[in-house]
Structure 1
Amino acid sequence: MRNYSYKTLDITELYVNPDNYRYVEEVQDEISAIIAMFKVNVGDAKKEMINLANDIITDGLNPFEMPIVCFDDEIGKYVVYDGNRRITCLKLMTQYKGNADVLEELPYVAEIYKLQYDGDNSIQCVVYEEADDAIHFLNKIHNDVNNGIGRKQWDSQAKMKANAAYGNKTKSYAIVEFLKTNQNTSTELLDKMKTNRWISKLERVVSFSLFKDVYNIHFDNNSNMSYLDTEEQVLKMLSKLVDDIIMNTATGNFRFKSDFQGYVDNLPNEYKTQLKKKEDNKTENGSSNTNKDSEGKPSNGAKNSNGAENGTSGGEDDAAKNNQKKEDNDTGVGKPKNIPRKHAQINEALVLCKNYDYSEYECLNEKGKEMMVELESLNIKDYPVAAVALCRCLLEYTLKLWLTEQGGDFNSGKLPSCYNGCVNLLRSKDIIDSKEQSILNTLVNKENFITLLNTWMHADTDACVSETPLISGWKNVRILIEKYIETHKK
């Protein structure tokens, strides 16, 4: 047994640990450690720390998690091994309230200084006699599941359910909820739905505009689901979709609109909305009756050179062609539409720094063009997981283009090493300069952007997609894409 005790300590007796595994660089003292806590590379540290401080003001400290500390003879205080984020917030609201050094480095900490903490400055802690014992239990808590010994994080479904209970329901959860609560859902499908790693695929599918057209399902601002088909038909459609996402490898990950378009093209009509078909039949019948009524009746319109009356059949043919072109664009068939950059103006889309003409994307080939068009028209606030997936796929695709062209080896299973190899190769050939190389190397080696993208895609952590690191990482990644376009301009 490892010796520990419970002790109530004043906030000034505690010392924020400078030797924290979260920090990117080493720090030497408590003030530096507090500043570094706002710069960790997982999630949006600034936003999360401010949120934590506000939560402490509202609900106090979590009674289920006491800080783990150990007395350090050299420092003369209790070094915090677990609970540094909480203690940092408390110190900024008490002991270091208004500290100029912190404020100079982190101006936004003023938001925490403004908070009025009325709680007790005395905190109950778990005190270990030896630092190694404290570190041992720290690893149990934070080092993933640790073969069942450590804290087991919620999977994507558990997180989704918890968020819904807290008033943050997603569209994918609304579908899951519909299937789970419907008494006619097959037990076989319900068993399949207990597996992991398919929710993110469903989330991407729901983000495609084609989803609404195929299934005639709508969501309000609170992600409540509504439909016009019968409940029986909706159950049939969604059961098929979810089952295919889980079981059918042909569906892939639905990373792109074209993936889903291909799936829909091969989907039997019985698994698509029936209401639209009925309305189409009505229209056809109505048109047929109109034609019959007009048979044998004189027309006031003059006939054109093709024998069609002006303003009637000739115009209808032109309108039909125009409508067909519009439908082709809406469904992703044919040449993609011009990129709507409205989201770029308010930082709601991941875009290149320059507004390239569509023809300049030719060097990316059809697949690359499609990804670029879709990414630059996607609102990351509404569809963050889809944006993450597209960002990662475009990065992987661009690396492959560069390495194939410049003579490097590409391996999708070792993306970070391929990325570093590509960056170094481009620098050796003076395609990028030393500053650009430094920026790109930092992105993966220090900021772990590729790891973040993978984490967000598969919802492996508690944190949801954070806009700030996503946008920041993209601004660096896009250097590779822009360089490729610039060097391949005709």
Structure 2
Amino acid sequence: MKVQELDVCMIRLDLENYRTYHNASEPDALRMMVQVQGKKIVELAEDIIENGLSPIETIAVVPEKDGFHTVIEGNRRITVLKLLENPSLAGDTSVEKAFSRLKPEFLKNPIRKISCAVFSDRETIMKWADRKHGTGLGGASLDRWGYVSNARRSADLGDYNRWIAALDYLREQGDPIENAELEIDRLQIGALITRIFGSEYLSKGLGVTIKSNGEVSFENGDDAAGRKLLKQMILDLIARKPTTDEYRYKEDWVRFFKEFDSLSVKKGASTSQNPSAETSTTDTNPSGARSGEGGGTSTDNDGGTTGPSGPKQSNDDGKGKRRPARRRSDRTKLVPKGRRYSLHILNDRINDLYHELLELDVSEKKSGVPNVGAIMIRVFLDLALTHYLSELDVPLDTRSQSRRGASSWKDIGVSLPSKLNAALKDLDPNNSNKTLKPARQACNKDFHHSIDVLHERVHDLDATSPTHKEVIEVWDRYHPLFDQIFEKLTNAGK
């Protein structure tokens, strides 16, 4: 590696950048970066005009045979410098207007030559890039790769997410789905599609086998039919804009796949496949985060066995509508186990705490600690909300800023009700999500799971000890909130 001064005009964008996926040309890569980054690219431009390029974040490039260099690390910054020189490259978008506004200020002190670290090959740079993309602090600083970008990087390292392997297979066969990764990233459904494609019904019911090394095969050997099936399933998922509530349980995933039985590539395929043929599911998480449960058949908190999706119960409300399955309130452990209840948490500290709470006995037995359980619910709620609001850049409420002098959600002066209200407003701005109703009730002191009661468990020496059932019910009332908080964080790769 050597450090060299290079003209910006002699540096090309990376056509295989993990933020912008696959591009045919540099203009395509630039437009895709604008589309993916949106206002963040404008924020970065404003920061560069004000402060210049960061001296501790070297742009890394590899030389090309024609005298140009390709940027491997620093594509956002090179995009900004190119747009500040020529805003029209952004096309007729709000970003072009923003850069046209910024250009006169930039030209007062233009940046046309920059110091770059020149490496001989891409993989040497990627070794260091892997260590860099661990934080997301908004558009003006490091921006952590999201779920799709991390899945793409894992694939490059030989560990394929099934739907990533399917997209690559379609592309290699000359039948690509244009902008599929961009749409999946935009809709924040990467983790959800990972779960759906992790179902064994894909192979047992439809005859499609996708290995972790990216190899795709079809049971009846009909590649054309297999391509048609994969393409239709992925396009259908994108068009549906699915939510976690719609595809939370194993039977939901199987129901989706059974819609494609007529396109099955099994040998002697039948259109009346039995969903019960699926005995277990595989939940592939590119981040390597732990899942909260074991394999296909698990043991519940009271020693009874459940299927891979937990206790078998009817999910019909009598009117043909699905309702969330009830968690067993007679369990002994604070947190329910089973695939349908597990939280996927990427933050190491919160994930460690969650797995300790999975084993916390809050029963009336001598070994039970319901008081500890009640206090830990308060702690877990605060940590989850703080992490969510900070990582997703939710604006700090004015009351916390003006009355408490806070500057971030992590400041001690920010109250728990303020955090809860801000998170609920971000998750459910129209108050239409019924599963979050218990969380909204938590700001009313009349409810036994209210924040006031949680505070009493921690601070009031005269507070009564909670019963086993009370502690269980309080966790269960907050569980839908936790589920949606960590689902959104996982989709954002945070």
* Greater C-alpha Rg: 1
Name whichever structure is richer in helix by fraction. Answer: 1
Please indicate the TM-score interval, normalised by the length of the shorter structure.
Answer: 0.3 to 0.5
TM-score (normalizing by structure 2): 0.36
